[in-house]
C-alpha cells in the first residue's frame, strides 16, 4: 500500500455507530505548538516499528482515552499530505459502538465532539475554505466550529462513502476564521 518512508503519522477516523452514526473529532488544546485550537481527528506521529493502525489507536488512547479493544478497524486510506507540509498522514477508519467513556487528555485535547454524519452532509453546513485568500478545499461549519484542511478533506470522503452526501454549493468560498487556523 505504501512504503514506510512515505508516511509519518496516522489519524483515527472513528465512526460512532450508535443510533445516529457520528464521527469523533477533537479540538486541539490551545497550548500545543502545532495547530492549537484546530478541529482534528485523534492521531499523531508514528513511533518506530508501528503500523498505521497501531499509531492511530495508540494516539487515540493517549488523546481521548479510547480503549483500542472498543474499535473495529475497517481499513486505511492512502496517505495524504496535510496542507503544504511534507508530512504524509494515513487515515485509519474505525467503527465503535459508543460503549465506554472517552475523556480528553488535558495536555492535548480541549474538547471531544461526536458530529453526526447527517449534520456533516447538510448542504447549509458546507463551503469551500480559503486561507489568506488561497483556496484550500471543502470545509464544514458545525455549531460554530469550522472544520477545514486535511480533516475536512477526509470528512468529505467519509460523507460520500457513507452515501450521505447531498448536493451543496462548491462555489461558496469563505475565509477560515483566525481562531481555527493558528
Q: Give the helix/strand (H/E) hosting 161.
A: helix 149-161
pLDDT for residue 143: 92
Instruction: Quick: pLDDT tens for 134-180.
Output: 898 999 999 999 999 999 999 999 999 888 899 999 999 999 988 87
- The pTM of the full predicted model, rounded to 2 decimals, is 0.90
Fold of the domain built from segment(s) 4-171: Nucleoside Triphosphate Pyrophosphohydrolase (3.90.79)
Residue 1 scores a pLDDT above 60: no
Residue 60 has pLDDT above 80, yes or no: yes
* CA-closest candidate to residue 70, choices 102, 27, 114: 102
Tens digit of each residue's pLDDT (9 = 90 or more) over 12-59:
999 999 878 999 999 887 676 667 678 999 999 999 999 999 999 999
Alpha helices in the chain (DSSP H): 52-64, 117-120, 149-161
Q: What is the mean pLDDT of residues 52-74?
A: 97
Mean pLDDT along residues 87-107:
91
Rounded Cα–Cα distance for residues 9 and 28 (Å): 16
pLDDT band at 64 (very low <50, low <70, confident <90, very high): very high
- Tell me if residue 15 falls in helix, strand or coil: strand
Note the pLDDT of residue 30. Answer: 63
Segments making up each domain of the chain, as ranges: 4-171
Give pLDDT, residue 25.
96
In this structure, what are the phi and psi dihedrals at residue 98, rounded to the nearest 5 degrees? 80, 0
Task: Kindly give the pairing relationship between strand 126-131 and strand 173-175.
Answer: parallel
Amino acid at each position: 500500500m505504501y512504503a514506510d518512508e512515505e508516511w509519518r503519522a496516522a489519524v483515527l477516523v472513528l465512526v460512532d455507530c450508535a443510533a445516529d452514526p457520528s464521527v469523533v473529532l477533537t479540538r486541539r488544546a490551545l497550548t500545543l505548538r502545532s495547530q492549537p485550537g484546530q478541529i482534528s481527528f485523534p492521531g499523531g506521529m508514528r513511533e518506530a516499528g508501528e503500523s498505521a493502525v497501531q499509531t492511530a489507536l495508540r494516539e487515540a488512547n493517549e488523546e481521548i482515552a479510547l480503549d483500542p479493544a472498543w474499535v473495529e478497524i475497517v481499513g486505511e486510506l492512502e496517505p495524504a499530505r496535510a496542507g503544504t507540509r511534507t508530512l504524509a498522514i494515513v487515515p485509519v477508519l474505525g467503527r465503535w459502538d459508543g460503549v465506554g467513556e472517552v475523556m480528553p487528555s488535558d495536555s492535548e485535547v480541549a474538547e471531544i465532539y461526536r458530529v453526526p454524519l447527517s449534520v456533516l452532509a447538510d448542504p447549509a453546513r458546507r463551503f469551500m475554505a480559503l486561507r489568506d485568500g488561497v483556496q484550500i478545499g471543502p470545509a464544514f461549519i458545525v455549531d460554530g466550529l469550522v472544520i477545514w484542511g486535511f480533516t475536512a478533506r477526509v470528512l468529505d470522503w467519509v460523507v460520500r462513502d457513507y452515501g450521505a452526501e447531498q448536493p451543496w454549493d462548491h462555489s461558496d468560498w469563505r475565509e477560515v476564521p483566525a481562531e481555527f487556523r493558528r
